[in-house]
Every structure is written in structure tokens, then in C-alpha cells.
Amino acid sequence: MRKFTALVSIFAIGAASCGSGSSEFETLDAGSVAEAETGGVEITLVTHDSFVVTPGIFDSFTADTGISVEVLSGGDAGEVVSRAVLSAGVPEGDVMFGIDNTFLQRGLNANIFTAYESPMLDSVPDELELDDEHRVTPVDFGDVCLNTTVDGIDGKVPTSIADLTDPAFAGTFVTENPESSSPGFAFLLATIATFGEDGWEDYWTDLAAGGVTVTSGWSDAYYGEFVSGGGPKTIVTSYATSPVAEVLFADPPIDTAPTSVILDSCFRQIEFAGILAGTAHPEAAAKLIDFMLSPTFQADIPLNMFVAPANSDVELPAEFIEHGVDVPSPLTLSPEEIEENRAEWTQRWTEIVLR
Amino acid sequence: MDRNRAPLIQQSNAERSGGFSRIALGVPTLFLAVFVVWPLLAVLARSLVGAGVGDVLDQLTSSGFRSVLWFTIGQALASVALTLLVGLPIAHVLARYDIKGSTVLRALVVVPFVLPTVVVAAAFSALFNRVGIDLDRSFAAILAAHVFFNVAVVVRIVGGFWGGLDRRETEAAMVLGASPMTAFRRITLPRLAPVIAGASLVVFLFCFTSFGVILILGGPTRATLETEIHRFAVFRQEFDSAAILALVQLITVVALSAGAARFQRRQSLASRGRVRTAKLPLNSAARRTYVSLVAVVAIVVVVAPMAALVEQSLRVGDGFGLSHYANLLERGPLLPVAPITALGRSVMFAVVAAAIAAAVGLLGASAIARGGRGGRLLEIGALVPLGVSAVTLGFGYLVGFAALDFRSSIWIVPIAHAVIGLPFVLAATVPAFRSIDSRLHEAAASLGADPATIRRRVDWPLVRTPLLTGAGFAAAVSIGEFGATSFLARGRSSFTAPMAVFRLLSQPGQLLRGQALALSVVIGLTVALLALVLERRRRDSVSLL
């Protein structure tokens, strides 16, 4: 009997949190945040496994505001969003970092954020702000791009996303399954953004005919199949910053990267932070959002996470400027469009490429 | 027969030690109820809200679902068969023959068990490519990896029991004219059957819920219930579909565990205690050939991939060196702490997890061996964590403990690991409890021993060795665990060594790769060392008998 009561109460909680599926959300006023007394408050930042900061990075924040920060990380970007959606209303922490533009709409639909317009947004380019209601704040961005060896095949190096269907490059490309890998999904979106709703399926049909290798994740593609990881393939779906890492982490040391980026294949990923609805400390959470856009935090991002700071006043480290590339016009699709079509696109992709 | 007589005696024992048997049953039951049943119910209920019966039926009758289900079961069954084929002879040789280095081999065999899948996959590809076999993304690659990972379960659990079997009955049969094969079939095999069944079930559940191996070595065209649950829950966030698959997984696991438990109960034969029997010398050509053959198989399956891994971790620049190992001492890029700190944390978690699993498991095993409805339920329930997906359990903790701070407590990691390690403790100790001859209890009781004394003087010496084996496994499971850990939100202080390997392999660069391989080797060495220490304890405890 007791078990039964417990079960009923779970169902009740579940039903209650699912029932509130309206688009209402709370908004936090920037003025009240600035005035709020936050000394001694402890808040929790929930994020993914790839979140790395220099130890002690929050010390100056704690000294200025009296707020101490605990970081809870677990899972990849998709898992972080799943966790937040499953625990909507009773969040694991106060601020979430790591939801990107490919998952953004899902988080917004599930109503997991409290809106807050940070004064620090003045330093952030408009094109990074995807939510007009400021339920999320852009913190960093990066690009998923095709990488190729600078030597190419018989001296021939692909320079465009369209080159991959050239018979000269048949069987040289490894990419990741869009249903299990974030870069794999981003590259699928890149082809949809490039060739349009009518053209992307033909492109993949041609690629599949020439022979494309698909792995489940990035490590498996880069370290298992790509030349610089010891495999046979010369084109791989990776990041715009991968050539930088190739130089920084080379062994023996090298001066120039053995790989380059195919610029017209780059799909932009923007990572956001948001105040989790239901937090007991919304003002302190808002102050942490401000801090994450401050030069102190933003300058710490590139060499720890290999993405670029959203704050345009913050300069990239010299290594990034020397070995990295500037992606002039990255590909993009709106979060609404991605959310609406995700299942259908990946389903079609699976039929074309894997069957 | 004994079987008909046993319950009466057990009942009288139970009456005499009522308080203890209530604790023995109650503590593990409560543990499982709080840390397994409750979170699973919570997340399934939460996910299935709003799903209609029609949706469920549609999903369960689709052809895609059926092929996933059959592939999941088929690959697991094939993996179990192959693991037994490879593992049983190794278990036999290590248990029965007097060979040099058997202690080391017994310790080494546990190492694959804890190696990160990403790294093993790379070692496998490298190894097979070198001999000209392209195993990438094939069914054969999945099976090979499953054998590599799980052979330890068979070798250690079955082998440990085998070594303690009284060989006098076999010898008597052979004196009376039975061939070695007949003696094995009629005397040894029936006594080993319950423990083989237990080990097989553990291997099956491991393969049934295998994730990394399927994704990496099987490639994107192969899907199991586990990978589909992950896809629905994480990528698509269609929690209802994920929950339906999780339910199917759960029901399969419960049905199988119930079947195996029944089989084990029926087959358990009381023996007159475990004795230290002399190892057989290698004094004939036939014996030497057999042992060499088994040794070659063990080396090819277990040692060769590890050797490939070690060789790769020593490649520095254009030559060889130890710098990747030296780099483990400092916090480099991409990691929140130094790899060596993460390893220390893993070891600490492993010790706590193994202690919890051993304590709960010891109580549970005595309750299970005593029988009764509670014991039977416990036996089945304890296997559930091995057979449900890491996503389900991880999200279960998130939803089930939402009202408590516990979901982000540092204790959540060792407790989750203890939950997964518990089945190993039970697989090793339940057959030992069952094989205790009730006449030993009667004799002790008639000499005036109270129940507590009987437990201490009769039961404990007989279950101590299997308990060490089981606890060692629980520790190994904890050190190597990645799946469930990655689903629990953790602070910097709970960053474990397998997470560090995973993180290091998330950016290009040979320095990172070298460090990841070196750390994997160190994880393996740590476990081998742990196994060696336990091995020594094991010998001591046997010699005390």
C-alpha cells in the first residue's frame, strides 16, 4: 500500500510538471540584480563534461559578490539538456551552461529558464544572441568544419564542401553519426544549410555512392580513421580549432599544422548559459551570468575549451591567431527550424547513408 | 534427497537466528529499494506520463523494435557462449594445474575488465590491422571485445570455485573405472553448474547493456536496446519511447534472472566444505600440450591487446619514452585535475564501493541461500542494476532524488558503483553459502555452538575467499565504470580516471592521445595490483582452513 501511494505521488509530480507546458517564464530585472545582497550565497553551475576552467577562476567573483560557486558537470551537451528537462521546476543547480543552438529550442520549449538581460551583452555581437527574450545568454562559440590533411590525395586538396563528391576524393571521408554525435549532427546541418531542403539528400546520396565512413563519435573518427590519428582517411568532420590543437599538442613538436579547415563547410555552434527556473537564488545566478561574460572568465575559455569567447572585447590567445582560421561566414540554421526537423532529417540521413 | 530435507533444517536455523536473518534480508532489500527500485520507478513514471497505450503498442510492434530486440539478445548470447568457450579452459588450468606465473595471469585477466572502451577499441583495431584483419565495425569485432572484457568474470568466479572443489570424489570415480571425461560430466560439471550459470548471467547482462563496444566497434548501423534508449533519451529527448524500451529491458532482465536463480537453486549440491587440494603437476605430454594450448589462447585474447596498448603508450615523438607517464602527474589542458589525482579519486571510490557491496552482498547472500520468498526476490532484484541501462539509472537518480540534495552528493558515485558491483559479490558468494553442508551446522549446533558462533566459525571461513573475489570485482567495476558515472552530475572532486581518458581523447594531438593511453595502462596496473594483493589474501585464507 505504501508503495502504491508513493507511485501515485510520483505520477502526480510528473503530471504537474508536464502540465505547465505554457510559454510563460519569469523575467529578472537587471536593476534588482545589481542591488541584491548576495553575500554568503552558494550557487551551483550545472554543465557538461567538456566544461573546463582554470582552477580558482571564480575566486575574484566570490571576492566581489560574496557568492561561492560549485560546478556540477556530467554527460555531453545533449545529456545536460535532457537532465534539465527531466528535472524542470526542481533544478539540479541555479545556472546551466552548455546548451547550444542545436538544442536551444528544446530547452526554451520545456520552459527551464528564467529570463535575464545581462548588461554585459553590450560587448557581445548581436548575431550570437538567438533568444530575443534573453532566457539564455551566449557565452562562447565555435565552428564544426571539415578538416583535411594539407598534403591531400596525390597533391589534390579539397577546398569546398562540394569537392567531397569529386571521384578523386571517393572513400577518403570519415564523419560521425548525427544521431550520436554533436559534430556529426552539425555537419548534417551544414549540408542542409548549403544545399537546401531540396539538395542535401542528393549530396549525401552522391557521398554514400563514393563511399563515406561513419563512426559513432568524434574520437572514433579522428583517432580511429583520420590520418593524423593513425587511420587511412584524409577528410574528417572536426572543429575549426582542430589544427590549433594539432600544433599545441603535437609530439614531436611542429611549427605548422598538418591539417587545414575547409572554410565553406563550417557550421556555427553557440553555447549559452541560462538561469534555471525554480532556483532559490535568481539574483546570485544572474550575477554569475554577468561574470561568465566578464573578461576574466572569457579570456580563460579558448585554451581550456577550444572555442572562442562571446565577448568581442576579449582577444584570442596568440596560438589561436597564429594557427587558427577566421571563419568569415559560417553556416547556420535557426533553432526553431532545427528542432522542428531534427527527427525527420536524421531519419532521412540514416536511410540514405546507413542503409 | 538432500533437497527435500534442507528446508526443514534451514527453517530451524532461521528460527534460532531470527534477528540476524531479518537483518540479512532487510538491509540488502532496503538498499536495493532505495537505490535501484525507487529511482527506476520514478524515472519510468515521469517519462511515461502522457504516453497512451496505443503509442506503446505501436512502438512494440514495429519491425525496427523487433530487430533491435533480437540483435540485443543474439549478440549477448553469442558473446556468453564465446566467453565460456575461452574462459572455462583458462579457469580450469589456473584452478587445477601447477604452473608458474598463474598468480600473475589470474591478476592480469581482470585488467581488460576496467580498460576504457575507446582505448580498447583502438588497441583492437591496431592489433588486427597489423595481422591484416579488418575487424572495424563488424559483428566479429563486438564479440571479440566482449570476450576480452568479460573473460575475467568466468575465469575468476568459476575458477575460484573450481579450485576449492573436493577432488576426492572425482578420483574415486576414476578409480572405479570412469574416464576423465565421464568423471567431469557426472561429478565436476554438476557441482560447477550453478556457478557457471551465475557467471554466464553476469556476462550476459554486461553484453546485454553494452554501450561503447556496440557504438564504437559495431559502428552506427548496429543498434541495441541500450544504444536506442540513449538515442531517444539524450538525442531526441523522446522520454516516453526511451522509457518503453527501458521497461522491455527491465522485464527481460527480471525474467532471465528469475530463470537463472531457479536453475541455481535446483542445481546447488551441498559439498563437505572446500578443501585445499594439491595442484596437478605437468607430468605428461598430454597435460603439457593441453596447458600450452590454453596458455596460447589466453595470451592471444587477453595479453596481446594489452601489450599493444602498452607499446603505443610508450611512443614518444619519433622514439620511445616515458614522458606520457610523467605528464600524468600534472594538470594539463582539458582536465579539471591532474590525471593522477583523478586516479586517486577512482581508487577511493572503488574502496568505498567495494566495502558497501561486500557488506550488503554478504548479508544478501546469506539471506538468498536461506531461501524463502524474500530471498528469491532479493536474488532477482540484485541483478537488475547490471541489466538496466546506465541512462535509465542515471536519470532515475536525478528524478528519484530530486527533492533531496543527495543527487549531487559526492556519495552518489560510490553508491551507484556499489549497486553495480553487488551482483558480482552475490555471484561469487551465493554458491559458496549454498554449498555449505547443513550437516556442518547441525554438528556445530549439537556441540553447543550458538548461531553467531556457527556463522563465525563455520560459514565465515567458507565464504571469505569468494567474498574477496566478489569484492575485488566490485572494486574493479568501480575503477573502470564510465557509463553510469557520466550520467551523474558531479563536482571537480569526483572526476574519475576513466572520465579523464575520455576527456583527453576529445581534442586532436598526439600528446593528449599518449597521455590517455598511459593513463589507461596505469588504471590497468592499479587493478592488476589490487588483484595481486587479493590473490595473496586468498592464498592465506585457504591455507587457514
The pLDDT tens digits of the residues spanning A207-223 come to: 999 999 999 999 989 98
Q: What is the per-residue pLDDT for B275?
A: 57
If one counts the domains in chain B, the total is 1
Which pLDDT band holds residue B12 (cuts at 50, 70, 90)?
Answer: very low
- Tell me: cis bond preceding B498? Omega within 30 of 0 counts: no
A211 C-beta neighbours (distance < 10 Å), count: 11
> In this predicted structure, which of A23-32, A163-172, A263-272, B519-528 has the lowest mean pLDDT?
A23-32
Question: For the domain that residue B384 is a member of, what is the CATH number?
Answer: 1.10.3720.10
> What torsion do the CA atoms of B320, B324, B325, B326 make, to the nearest 10 degrees?
110
Q: Domain A26-141+269-323 belongs to what architecture? A: 3-Layer(aba) Sandwich (3.40)
Q: What is the per-residue pLDDT for B254?
A: 92
Looking at the domain assignment, is residue B11 inside a domain?
Answer: no
Q: What is the per-residue pLDDT for B273?
A: 52
Looking at the domain assignment, is residue B356 inside a domain?
Answer: yes
Looking at the domain assignment, is residue B456 inside a domain?
Answer: yes
Q: What is the per-residue pLDDT for B265?
A: 78
DSSP line for A216-246? SSHHHHHHHTBGGGTSSBSEEEEETTHHHHH
Q: Are strands A95-100 and A42-47 parallel, antiparallel or unpaired?
A: parallel
Contact A250 B491 (CB under 8 A): no
Looking at the domain assignment, is residue B210 inside a domain?
Answer: yes
The pLDDT tens digits of the residues spanning B356-415 come to: 999 999 999 999 988 888 888 998 888 888 888 888 888 898 888 877 767 777 888 899
Residue from A308, A351, A262, A340 nearest A127 by CA: A308
Domain boundaries, chain A: 26-141+269-323, 143-268+326-349
List the alpha helices (DSSP H) in B371-509: 372-387, 390-400, 412-434, 438-446, 451-454, 460-480, 483-487, 497-504
Q: Please determine, for residue B481, whether its predicted confidence score (pLDDT) is greater than 70.
A: yes
Contact B121 A224 (CB under 8 A): yes
Which pLDDT band holds residue B336 (cuts at 50, 70, 90)?
Answer: confident
A3 C-beta neighbours (distance < 10 Å), count: 11
Spatial separation of the C-alpha atoms in residues B114 and B126, rounded to whole Å: 19
Looking at the domain assignment, is residue B167 inside a domain?
Answer: yes
Looking at the domain assignment, is residue B4 inside a domain?
Answer: no
- Among B488, B510, B515, which would you mutate to test the A interface (most chain A Cβ atoms within 10 Å of its Cβ)? B510
Which residues of chain A have a CB within 8 Å of the CB of B136?
224
Name, in order, each residue with C-beta under 8 angstroms of A31's C-beta and a sequence gap of 6 or more.
none
Which residues of chain B have a CB within 8 Å of the CB of A242?
507-508
Report how many Cβ contacts below 8 Å link chain A to chain B. 172
Q: Domain A143-268+326-349 belongs to what architecture? A: 3-Layer(aba) Sandwich (3.40)
Q: The cell 524500451 sits on which residue? A: B245
Strand partners, B320: B315
Which three three-digit cell numbers place residue A257? 599544422
- SS3 of B165-227: the string is CCCHHHHHHHHCCCCHHHHHHHHHHHHHHHHHHHHHHHHHHHHHCCCHHHHHHHCCCCCCHHH
**Residue B233 or residue B122, greater confidence:** B233
Chain B residue with minimal CA distance to A350? Answer: B221
Contact B509 A248 (CB under 8 A): yes
> Over chain A, what is the mean pLDDT?
91
Q: Please give the average per-residue pLDDT across B39-68, as a whole number.
A: 85
Which residues of chain A have a CB within 8 Å of the CB of B235?
78, 179-180
Which pLDDT band holds residue B277 (cuts at 50, 70, 90)?
Answer: low
Contact B219 A216 (CB under 8 A): yes
Which pLDDT band holds residue A9 (cuts at 50, 70, 90)?
Answer: very low
Looking at the domain assignment, is residue B278 inside a domain?
Answer: yes
Is the pTM above the cut of 0.90? Answer: no
Q: What is the per-residue pLDDT for B545?
A: 29
Looking at the domain assignment, is residue B6 inside a domain?
Answer: no
> Which of B234, B488, B503 is closest, CB to CB, to A82?
B234
Contact A230 B126 (CB under 8 A): yes
Spatial separation of the C-alpha atoms in residues A351 and A349, rounded to whole Å: 5
Spatial separation of the C-alpha atoms in residues B3 and A197, rounded to whole Å: 70
Contact A242 B508 (CB under 8 A): yes
Q: The cell 546507413 sits on which residue? A: A354
Spatial separation of the C-alpha atoms in residues B300 and B133, rounded to whole Å: 14
Tell me the ipTM for this assembly.
Answer: 0.87
**Residue B434 or residue B6, greater confidence:** B434
Contact by Cβ (8 Å): B194, B434: yes
Which three three-digit cell numbers place residue A60? 575574484
Domains A26-141+269-323 and A143-268+326-349 share a fold: yes
Backbone angles phi, psi at B334, to 5 degrees: 75, -10
Q: What is the per-residue pLDDT for A23?
A: 59
A68 C-beta neighbours (distance < 10 Å), count: 15
Q: Å from A315 to nearest chain B CA?
A: 19
Q: Please give the average per-residue pLDDT across B281-308, as a whole number.
A: 88
Angle between helices B339-370 and B412-434 (to 10 degrees): 40
> Which of B239, B335, B489 is closest, CB to CB, to A74?
B489
Name, in order, each residue with C-beta under 8 angstroms of B52's C-beta and a sequence gap of 6 or more.
none
Residue from B169, B382, B160, B154 nearest B269 by CA: B169
Spatial separation of the C-alpha atoms in residues B249 and A50, rounded to whole Å: 30
Chain B residue with minimal CA distance to A107? Answer: B237
3-state secondary structure of B113: helix
> Which of B122, B227, B503 is closest, CB to CB, to A223?
B122
> What torsion do the CA atoms of B40, B42, B47, B50 make, to the nearest 10 degrees?
130
> In this predicted structure, which of A80-89, A304-313, B164-173, B507-516 has the lowest mean pLDDT?
B164-173
Q: Please determine, for residue A68, whether its predicted confidence score (pLDDT) is greater than 50.
A: yes
Which three three-digit cell numbers place residue B370? 536461506
Which residues of chain A have a CB within 8 Å of the CB of B507?
242, 245, 249, 306
Q: Please determine, for residue B489, whether its predicted confidence score (pLDDT) is greater than 70.
A: no
Q: Residue B483: give the domain boundaries.
A: 20-45+54-313+324-544
Which pLDDT band holds residue A21 (cuts at 50, 70, 90)?
Answer: very low
